[in-house]
A and B are shown apart, each in its own frame.
Chain A
Amino acid sequence: QQQVKQSPQSLIVQKGGISIINCAYENTAFDYFPWYQQFPGKGPALLIAIRPDVSEKKEGRFTISFNKSAKQFSLHIMDSQPGDSATYFCAASIGTASKLTFGTGTRLQVTL
């Protein structure tokens, strides 16, 4: 049962552009929404996370927007750089940051 749907599957953005990845969840009990970045041959690394008591969280060039009523959240990467080329996973959990349900991933390629 897929509880977190992620789109698009792949994304190509020019250097300096904005990358936007979207996720939707079904389980209204989820209360922690992290984004992970994964480079080839490496494990996922936590990028940024949000809880539903805020609608937006920004860390550097990365911003999470959260819409509780629509059960959606998204990752925005401003001023995208070639070094941002990776696979991005959204995830969700109940109660803690531990038992995560992941989306299917978005492969981002930032071109020169």
Chain B
Amino acid sequence: EAGVAQSPRYKIIEKRQSVAFWCNPISGHATLYWYQQILGQGPKLLIQFQNNGVVDDSQLPKDRFSAERLKGVDSTLKIQPAKLEDSAVYLCASSFGGNSPLHFGNGTRLTVT
């Protein structure tokens, strides 16, 4: 089966600019997650979708981050305006939900200068 697809692979922007990341989950996976992985740390959950509804966004900095999952398939994560501390790898993951394991994409590495 095809894995979780993410784009772009890399992005370099200046602080205060905006940026968007795209994720296409594995076909049939109802649950989609965005994680932030800062260098040297484990991934941290930003937001979880079940189909096109938000299940958990408690750790999403909503003043600058937004995410949507239109039609319950693809998802985009946006940062506006970006800060230096947003430099990280943004990982998208998907699963069938329930107790099924997460499958991660290869991430988008964001550098904010």
Q: In the complex the two chains form, is B42's CB within 8 Å of A98's CB?
A: no
* A75: Cβ under 8 A from any B Cβ: no
**Known contacts A43-B4, A43-B91; A97/B102 CB under 8 A:** yes
**Known contacts A97-B95, A98-B31; A46/B102 CB under 8 A:** yes
Q: In the complex the two chains form, is B95's CB within 8 Å of A102's CB?
A: no
Dominant SS among interface residues on chain B: loop
Q: In the complex the two chains form, is B44's CB within 8 Å of A97's CB?
A: no
Q: In the complex the two chains form, is B106's CB within 8 Å of A98's CB?
A: no
* B48: Cβ under 8 A from any A Cβ: yes
**Known contacts A98-B33, A98-B95, A104-B40; A43/B104 CB under 8 A:** yes
A97 contact set on B, CB distance < 8 A:
95, 98-102
Q: In the complex the two chains form, is B101's CB within 8 Å of A43's CB?
A: no
B101 contact set on A, CB distance < 8 A:
34, 46, 49, 97
A41 contact set on B, CB distance < 8 A:
106
Q: Which of B17-60 contact A (CB under 8 A)?
A: 31, 33, 40-45, 48, 56
B31 contact set on A, CB distance < 8 A:
98
The answer, among A34, A91, A98, A103, for a CB contact under 8 Å with B97, is A98
Report the minimal beta-carbon distance from B2 to chain A, rounded to whole angstroms: 14
Q: How far is the CA of A104 from the CA of B100 in the complex (A)?
A: 23
* A61: Cβ under 8 A from any B Cβ: no
The answer, among A43, A46, A89, A105, for a CB contact under 8 Å with B107, is A43
* B93: Cβ under 8 A from any A Cβ: yes
Report the minimal beta-carbon distance from B33 to chain A, rounded to whole angstroms: 7
Given contacts A97-B101, A99-B48, 14 further A-B contacts (CB under 8 A): A4-B42, A32-B99, A42-B106, A44-B43, A44-B91, A45-B104, A96-B99, A97-B98, A100-B45, A102-B43, A103-B42, A104-B41, A104-B42, A105-B40
B102 contact set on A, CB distance < 8 A:
46, 97-98, 100
Q: In the complex the two chains form, is B42's CB within 8 Å of A102's CB?
A: yes
A-B contact pairs, 19 of them (CB 8 A): A4-B42, A43-B93, A43-B106, A43-B107, A44-B43, A44-B91, A46-B102, A49-B101, A97-B100, A98-B48, A98-B95, A99-B45, A99-B48, A99-B56, A100-B43, A102-B42, A102-B43, A104-B42, A105-B40
